[in-house]
Amino acid sequence: MSSKDTNKSPDGQQGLLNRRRVLGDAWVDRSLANVNDFNQEFQQLITRYAWDEIWGRPALGDKTRRLMVLSTLIALKAWEEFAMHTRAALDGREESRLSPDELKEIILQSAIYCGVPAANHAFAIASDILRERGFLPAKKA
C-alpha cells in the first residue's frame, strides 16, 4: 500500500472495496492519484464513513442508494457529483445499474420536490452523459 491509500484500517479497506464496486476502478484510481497531504484525511474520512459505514450497510442495496444519492445531489445542486454518480449508475454492475428510463424518473420526481430549475439542469447534464454513452443521438448542429 502506498502512502496515498485512503486508509490501511479494515474499515478503510472495506470502504475502498465498496467505493470501487459502486464507482468503478478507473474513477477510484483517478481519485486516489489526487490524494495529497492536504486532502488525505478527508479521503480517509469519506472512505471510512460514506463508503464503509453507509454504502456497506446491507438493508437498502446499491441500486436504492444510487437512487437516493442522485436525488440528493439534484436537491443540493451538486452538479459535478451528480455527473460522476450518473456515469457510475449507468456503467455500474448489472444488479445496481440504472437504465436511462430510471434516471429520467429520478429527475422527474426531483422536479416536484427540488424544483424545476434543478431538474432542468439535471436533464441537461444527464442528456450529455447519455449521449457520451450512446443512449441518445449526438446533438444536431
Per-residue model confidence as pLDDT tens digits over 59-103: 999 999 999 999 999 999 999 999 999 999 999 999 999 999 999
d(CA 109, CA 71) in angstroms, rounded, equals 8
Quick check: 126 and 107 in contact, CB under 8 A?
yes
| pLDDT for the residue numbered 2 | 44
Backbone angles phi, psi at 67, to 5 degrees: -60, -45
pLDDT band for position 11 (cuts 50, 70, 90): confident
**Residue with the three cell numbers 474499515:** 11
Question: Does residue 65 contact residue 97 with C-beta atoms inside 8 Å?
Answer: no
pLDDT in tens, 35-59: 999 999 999 999 999 999 999 999 9
pLDDT per residue as tens digits for the range 98-118: 999 999 999 999 999 999 999
Q: What is the pLDDT of residue 4?
A: 53
Specify the amino acid at residue 64: T
Work out the mean pLDDT of the chain and round it to a whole number.
93
* Beta-carbon contacts of residue 124 (< 8 Å; ≥ 6 apart): none
**For the chain, what are the domain ranges?**
8-57, 60-141
Residue 1 pLDDT > 70: no
pLDDT at 40: 95
- How much is the pTM? 0.88
- CATH architecture of the domain with range 60-141: Up-down Bundle (1.20)
CA angle 44/83/75 to nearest 5° reads: 85
Report whether 53 contacts 11 (CB < 8 A).
yes
User: Is the pLDDT at 12 greater than 90, yes or no?
Assistant: no
| Count of alpha carbons within 13 angstroms of residue 88, beta-carbon side | 24
Closest CA to 79 of 126, 45, 43, 111: 126
